[in-house]
Structure 1
Amino acid sequence: MHTSRTPRAVVIGAGIGGLTAAAALHTRGWHVTVLERAPSLEPVGAGISLSPNAQRALDVIGLGDEIRARVALQGDAGLLTPGGRWLARTDGAAVAERFGGPLVLLHRATLAGLLAARLPDGALRTGTAARLTDPGDDDRRARVATADGELEADLVVGADGINSAVRSALFPGHPRPAYAGFTTWRVVVPAPERPFPPHETWGRGRLWGTQPLKDGRVYAYASALAPEGGRAPDDEKAELLRLFGTWHHPVPGILAAVAPADVLRHDVRSMTRPLPAYHRGRTALLGDAAHAMTPNLGQGGNQAIEDAVVLAHHAAPGAPATLGAYTRDRLPRTTDIVRRSARTGRLAMAGGAPGLLLRQALLTAAGRFAPGLLLRGYAGITDWCPPAPTYAAGTGAEAERQGGHR
């Protein structure tokens, strides 16, 4: 039962990062309240790739092994041309060996449900818009305003996404995330009958990815160079058909199975200028609110999950959160990943003929003579471990795995 001696955390935003933070803080003994302005917990209909670093973070709340059990990636995977020729390939075993474990693709709604199930009854309040009115300090609790009244908290977590109002309140003069020069589409459809290898396909200023999910569906995503704020003159399925309809199997079949209303389109933005800190007073930022990045390394959600468990690690029950340590742990790492992701995005989205030819030559050479070279871009990312042994796992494989972490 909540008492005045129990530290209270208010999390603004029930995305993947916010739910992970709430679950981790609850595990650490905090009374948590999650405020989500949407009327229900229904994440956008898209997939998320969880790499071993995020899986280890989820070990902290006892969810890692359940995620690993959903792995679907098997056999060859790699990069293709729009005509279906391999530029570079590797197999699932090589990926798992290089990354320290398998990559797990699952629907965001699945992950959100697993995280929400780890919260106590009443902790999640949907249909509740929230506004930070006071970030607090060492001598004053933070305050959050809602339509039902004001909440005081020992810790406020701004997990309100790329257009974060909490970030704007903490750092009002800081530039907002900048447009990366391309837009992205995402769909989830039933798997086609004819099998295909998981892949990304890089064309001239265009990219397509198709990844299987454990539940028998396929998560597909696409990107293309485009003016900021653009929209199709008819519908986004028609736009995808114009851009990718003649590409290799399974792209045409996936597009045929998509309903126009189920295509998600978003311009890609990233935090090209890092924040000076990820906290102020008793308020912390995580995920896209702190360090929005392009999707090209697949680390946006993974870094939000890392943020969440590191924040909970430093926010000791019974004392004000030591948020300076959180910033010191997270800002250098995430800034580096934001920049690396942006570089990968520029390579993947090359539109000019010289850059395109150079990219194809480099990838072909890497695939033929040094298959592991393409995986080295993840060095220092996927081998990350939580800052302390898990405090949710007790014995067995999960505890043994954590015993080797430093």
Structure 2
Amino acid sequence: MRTEMVEDVVIIGAGIAGLTTALGLHGMGLRSLVLESSDSLRASGYALVLWANAWRALDAIGIGDFLREQHFELDGFVVTSTISGLATSHTPFKADRKYEGNEVRSVKRKALLEALAKDLPPGTIRFTSKIVCIEEAGSLKLLHLADGSILKTKVLIGCDGVNSIVAKWLGLENPVFSGRWSIRGCGEYLGGHGLEPNFFQFYGNGFRSGLVPCDEKTVYWFFTWIPSAEQKNIQENQAMMKQFVLSNLGKVPEALENAIENTPLGSFVASPLKFRKPWNVLWGEITKGNVCVAGDALHPMTPDIGQGGCAALEDGVVLARCLAEALPKESRRESNLRVEDKEDDEFNRIKKGLEKFAKERRWRSFELISTAYLVGWMQQSEGKVISFLRDNFLSSFLAGLRLKSSSYDCGKLNIS
């Protein structure tokens, strides 16, 4: 085994939160090292809807316009009952002055990750680097990697997803299963799909599905349901996934069926929907000393308000700003302090910076997790009363909750 030089900031996970944090720090003149366990960016074949709060974050790190050029702006949210086949609400995204400037686009995950990674200095991301153990080493953290190497770092950030090793080290409870699964994919149309630029959603009989155009030739779709014990096995067979979705759509437009048919079998992704108990975010340790978590490692949530990726982008901007304040460039210059005093001073500044991040993100995470769970429960319910209220009175209300969640502004960065 060998111990390498001390890194200023080590980020575990080259996902949305990890790369956003790294890019934000880079823009402010601070270096970081991103450790990714896989051998490349994990850009599976689906997309995600980015709401206005996500575009503010993307603008803060300087890549918003680059992604805008590649993806449609959506006009509104159209909800249809799969029982009657009739639309129950249509919410224009920019009609309400309260949400003026509400920009919504469906962005391919691969395009987002590549945009985040492209401006990072060479060597920032180290692939095939799996963390197996975290140890204390005075004011530093010792990271043991699967290949036997050891890294020392002044700051450790866990952006390593739902099963985060950093979250476990902090003592956070494991995320819990919501009882629902999702299947997602992207339909590809060589000649163009011809869909209107709207977010189409369909629900009824305990199923929920959606259809969102990304660009002229790509359409993102999703399907969620509460599986029986037998249905959980379909995740192992993508042909079965496809057939299951097609046979349970209900009364939906032909465009949704076409999108599923136009999705390569290898791109079907099935996963259980998990979330962190919101009170665990409020009262649990999401930071300790020079360690914190962000993204899905902090606030895994169900996808019902489309804020998982958006919140990860927010996290990255806020975290980069807090760390840049704690680790100004001047801190690396020579000083008259003894080495021990200098290390203690730096550790305390880092600690306060991460505590500031935690304070800013705690309630925001609590609100998003809780809202997503509530919306998912109402949309997925098979009860007659809830179904009647949802289809006749609550569709616009639920769409409004999405717009309210997207009104958040994570602020700007002082990019050098």
What's the TM-score, normalizing by structure 1?
A: 0.86
Corresponding residue for 1:370? Answer: none
Any idea what SS the aligned residue of 1:307 has? helix
- Give the distance between the partners of 2:47 and 2:143, measured in 1 at CA: 31
User: What does residue range 1-400 of structure 1 map to in structure 2 within 5 Å?
Assistant: 8-82=8-82, 83-94=84-95, 98=99, 100-134=101-135, 140-146=139-145, 147=147, 149-171=149-171, 174-191=172-189, 193=193, 195-196=195-196, 197-227=198-228, 230-232=232-234, 235-244=240-249, 247-272=252-277, 273-275=279-281, 276-315=284-323, 316-317=326-327, 318=331, 319-320=346-347, 321=350, 322-363=353-394, 366=396, 373-378=397-402, 381-387=405-411, 389-392=412-415
Post-superposition Cα deviations, 1:53-89, rounded to whole Å, max 9, x if no partner, equal 1211222221223333444134453101225411000
Any idea what SS the aligned residue of 1:31 has? coil
How far off its partner does 1:92 sit?
Answer: 4.5
C-alpha change, 1:184 and 1:135, in structure 2 (3 Å) is: farther
- Give the distance between the partners of 1:215 and 1:17, measured in 2 at CA: 28
Amino acid at match of 1:346: W
Any idea what SS the aligned residue of 2:364 has? helix
How far off its partner does 1:161 sit?
Answer: 0.3
- Give the distance between the partners of 2:99 and 2:105, measured in 1 at CA: 15
C-alpha change, 1:108 and 1:193, in structure 2 (3 Å) is: closer
- Give the distance between the partners of 2:404 and 2:142, measured in 1 at CA: 37
**Comparing 40-49 and 184-193, the one that deviates more:** 184-193
The answer to whether the Cα contact below 8 Å between 2:47 and 2:107 also exists between their aligned partners in 1 is yes
The answer to whether the Cα contact below 8 Å between 1:237 and 1:259 also exists between their aligned partners in 2 is no
- Give the distance between the partners of 1:25 and 1:96, measured in 2 at CA: 34
- Give the distance between the partners of 1:168 and 1:32, measured in 2 at CA: 22
The answer to whether the Cα contact below 8 Å between 1:292 and 1:300 also exists between their aligned partners in 2 is yes
Any idea what SS the aligned residue of 2:208 has? strand
- Give the distance between the partners of 2:96 and 2:71, measured in 1 at CA: 13
The answer to whether the Cα contact below 8 Å between 1:61 and 1:391 also exists between their aligned partners in 2 is no
- Give the distance between the partners of 1:249 and 1:72, measured in 2 at CA: 21
Any idea what SS the aligned residue of 1:230 has? helix
- Give the distance between the partners of 2:259 and 2:158, measured in 1 at CA: 36
The answer to whether the Cα contact below 8 Å between 2:85 and 2:251 also exists between their aligned partners in 1 is no
- Give the distance between the partners of 2:286 and 2:311, measured in 1 at CA: 13
Over aligned residues, Cα RMSD in angstroms? 2.5
Any idea what SS the aligned residue of 1:133 has? strand
| Unmatched tracts of structure 1, length 5 or more | 367-372, 394-406
Q: Percent identity?
A: 24
How far off its partner does 1:347 sit?
Answer: 0.7
| Unmatched tracts of structure 2, length 5 or more | 332-345
The answer to whether the Cα contact below 8 Å between 1:206 and 1:223 also exists between their aligned partners in 2 is yes
The answer to whether the Cα contact below 8 Å between 2:93 and 2:102 also exists between their aligned partners in 1 is no
- Give the distance between the partners of 1:50 and 1:362, measured in 2 at CA: 26
User: Greater share of helix residues, 1 or 2?
Assistant: 2
How far off its partner does 1:44 sit?
Answer: 1.4
How far off its partner does 1:45 sit?
Answer: 1.2
Q: Aligned pair count?
A: 377
The answer to whether the Cα contact below 8 Å between 2:78 and 2:201 also exists between their aligned partners in 1 is yes
